[in-house]
Structures are given as structure tokens and as C-alpha cells.
Structure 1
């Protein structure tokens, strides 16, 4: 027990704990919307496409997450535009951008002169390396997520479940979808620092799917998803520290275990 309390004397652990908390709020809210809209693989497509931006940023000597943010935003807008204006199916546009982004990232990392960077941190995340600036961004987006849901919940609900009715009601549905797509992209890029490119998809879907086992109201799903995500993230973080394991993997392992336990409880009931 003393060792557990001693952890809080280390700034890297406090940063990791706060990052897990803020990321859980973001993933719980945004992930619930994605799951409700049945667009789960959008998060995977945006995440993997952002790797192309990281590769180009490395080649140009820029901060990698700057390139990732640009690519993520372009990918989110591209998916939305191609599925509504260009007549391309959403799953097809996701698959194209997913594979293209990864290919661009690999190529630019390969041709970057000198030392080839270690990509494990970007692919699988490392919450223990989170800095104060990362926390500021995560806190800002987590707070903005809560504010937007509290103020615009009816609009979000309408667009997610019945966009045709929302359009008839006079809402600028297409503009709202673009704004949401941009917000989803920003949320995903910030979460990469904690979970990595490979595991972000799970973070945005498992907690929401687990909460959805017991509640159907979107607001309740968001609340339950945040709680599950916080429990899984903190438990996974502690497991990673005490057993010297990758934090992203242990967080997803813990969230999956929680989901399976809740699934069994739901089945027994």
C-alpha cells in the first residue's frame, strides 16, 4: 500500500493519471456518439490515416503530432465529404484513407535521412511520457466535450439518429456533421499520445459498447462509458506500472475484461 501512495510523489505518474482521466472523458463522450451513429471504424480510419502526417512531419523536421493533426482533420472532412458529396460509400472511403495514410507514413519514415525514429510510442502509446502541455490540451477538449453535450445534446441526438428529420426541422445538418467530424479528429489525435495509433479504436468503442449493454439513452451511455473508461484506464495504468508492461495494452486488456464481465452479468440477468 505504501508503494501505491509513493507513486503519487512522482510527477510522471500524476501526469499519466490525469491524462488517463481526461482521455477517458473524451473517449467516453465521443466514442458513445460514434457507436450510436454506427460509425465505429471512422475512429480507426482517422487514426491510421494520421500516421501519414506523422511520417511527413518527421521528414520535414516538424513535430510529429502537428502532422498527425493536419492529416486527421483532412481525413475526417474527406470521409464526410466523399460519403455525402462524391457518392463514395463511407466504409470504402475509410478503407482508402486508412491504408493510404499508413503507406504514406511508412514511406516518409523510411526515406527520412539519418536515425529512423522509434515508432512504438506512436503505434501503441505511452501514457507515462505525457507532458504538461499534453494535459492542457486533453483537459481543454474534455471540458469542451462536456460543455457541448450539455448545450447541444438535442442537436447531437437528432443528427446521430435521424439526420433526415433534423434536416426537415431546419438544422444545418451537413455543417454540423463537418464540425463533429473535426471534433472527433482532434479527440483522436490527442488520444494517440495515451493509447497509440493501433489501440485508439478500442478506447473509443469498448466503454461505449459496455455501457450500451444496460442503457440505451445516449446521455446515459455517455455517462456510463466515461465511468467504465476511467476504471479501465486507471486499473490498466497501475497494472502497467507494477508489472512493467506497455500502458496502452494493459488499459485495453482491462477495458475488455470489464466488457466481458458486464456481458456475462447481462446474460445471467
Structure 2
């Protein structure tokens, strides 16, 4: 273990996994409580359009993915607020558009061959300092948002109508939440990839909800559980030479099914 931690890329990978877990613990809990998993999935896949845009115009992938994801997230929020009945079709269309747009732009990028798999399934072992700084900033933003607006997020999550009567601007906080989802997705891309990011945002919060009485507790437990999944998944990927993102999600999924089965047996 000491030899493993002496490797710089493994230090960055462990730190990146913990930082991403904090973001996913906060936003993922809100996603699960508000039942917005499908919207989060749509944003995560549509973010690939931003990566394609970045490579086509020669800018940083993180910048392209961030701007494009936030734009599509706000678009999703605007449309779904007006049409709740067909939001699944709308999200599905934006999901498909983002993926197709990104792939086409990468195909059109002259003289550049992008490793599609690293963005779809993650490459936490290749995480760099810029990504660590970005995720750290995202964590700081999320923590400040929760410290300042915790009551408002609780109100809109558990009873949006009551929150509106109490003077909480539910529409504004809906936009803010969707934008936070976009930032969380971009920060998590390198760890588990666009395809698997939704798992890291939903599985730990689902497990944490069982042991939590408050939303704040759920966020903390979710971040801890997610960190454990990332660390165990990294160790397994290093030992057996398998894809790190898939290894992390496999650990999370196995634990998820164990919890589900335990709950079912306990209820019987």
C-alpha cells in the first residue's frame, strides 16, 4: 500500500476520487430526493457535445464541457418547467443531440484522434492537476451553496408547493440545482466517464438515505460511501489491471444489490 501511494498518478487518482465523491454526495442526494435521475443522465450524456466542441475549436475539454453542459442543463430546466408531462422525451432528445453533436465534431476535427473510451468510461489514473483544481472549486461552490441555502433546498426537495408559499423562489432554485448537476457531471467525467457518472451520483445517495434522518446527513454519508467505492475500485483496478471507472461502478453496484436484497429480506 505504501509503495502504491508513492506513485504520483495514484495519489492524484485517490485525491480525485475523494473530491468527486464530495460533489456527487451533495448533488446526488438532491438528485435522488427530487427524483431527477433521468435529467442527470441526460445532462451527463449531452456533455459529450461540449467535449467535441472543445476539441474542434482547440480549447480545454473541461472548459468546453462545462459551458456546453450548463447551457443544456438550463435549457432542460426551462423546457421541463413548462412541460412536465413530456419531460422524459425532451431529456431523451437532448441526450441524443449532445452525444451525436460531440461525435460529429470530433470526426470533423482535422488531424486529431480522440480516445473516445477515456471520456465515455473515465480514466481516473490519468487525472491531472487542472482537473483536481476544477473539482476542488466545484466542491467549494457546492459546500458554500449548502451552507447558505440549505433550508431552501430542503424546502423545494420535500414540498415545493409549501416552499413557494413560504416565499422560496422554487423556479430559481430548480435552475440552480440543474446547473449544479451539470458542474458535478463535468467534474466526474474523468473519474468514471459520461456513461457511468449517473451511477456514482445515485447509488451512494440511495444507500446513504437508508441510514439518514436529514438531508445533510444523507449528503455526508453519501460522500463517505462514494469515497470508499472509489478507493476500493481503484485498488482492484490496479491489482487486476482493469478499467478504473468500470471497477469503481462495479464495486458500487455489487454493494447496491447487497443492500437491496438485505432490505427485502428484512421486510419479509
User: What TM-score comes out, normalization by structure 1 length?
Assistant: 0.93
Q: Distance in 1 between matches of 2:127 and 2:212?
A: 33
CA displacement 1:46-103 (0-9 Å, x = unmatched) = 1111111211222222222222112110111011100123667322221111001111
Is contact 1:52–1:104 with CA below 8 Å preserved after alignment?
yes
1:18 to 15, 19, 27: 15
Alignment of 1:263 with 2:246, yes or no, is no
- Shift in Å, 1:144: 2.9
Q: Distance in 1 between matches of 2:151 and 2:210?
A: 22
State how many pairs are aligned. 266
**What stretches of structure 1 of length at least 5 have no aligned partner?**
none
- Shift in Å, 1:218: 2.1
Is contact 1:43–1:200 with CA below 8 Å preserved after alignment?
no
Alignment of 1:6 with 2:42, yes or no, is no
- Shift in Å, 1:214: 3.8
Q: Distance in 1 between matches of 2:98 and 2:256?
A: 30
- Shift in Å, 1:158: 0.7
Which range moved further: 246-255 or 40-49? 40-49
User: What TM-score comes out, normalization by structure 2 length?
Assistant: 0.93
Alignment of 1:220 with 2:217, yes or no, is yes
Name 1:51's counterpart in structure 2.
Answer: 48
Q: Secondary structure at the match of 1:117?
A: coil
- Shift in Å, 1:27: 0.6
CA displacement 1:205-226 (0-9 Å, x = unmatched) = 1111122234353222222211
1:147-186 equivalences under 5 Å are 147-186=144-183
Is contact 1:213–1:266 with CA below 8 Å preserved after alignment?
no
The Cα RMSD (Å) is: 1.6
Name 1:83's counterpart in structure 2.
Answer: 80
- Regions of 4+ moved over 4 Å: none
Is contact 1:194–1:248 with CA below 8 Å preserved after alignment?
yes
Q: Distance in 1 between matches of 2:264 and 2:98?
A: 40
Q: Secondary structure at the match of 2:246?
A: helix
Q: Distance in 1 between matches of 2:254 and 2:150?
A: 30
CA displacement 1:98-149 (0-9 Å, x = unmatched) = 0011111111112222232111111111111111121122122223323322
Q: Secondary structure at the match of 1:43?
A: helix
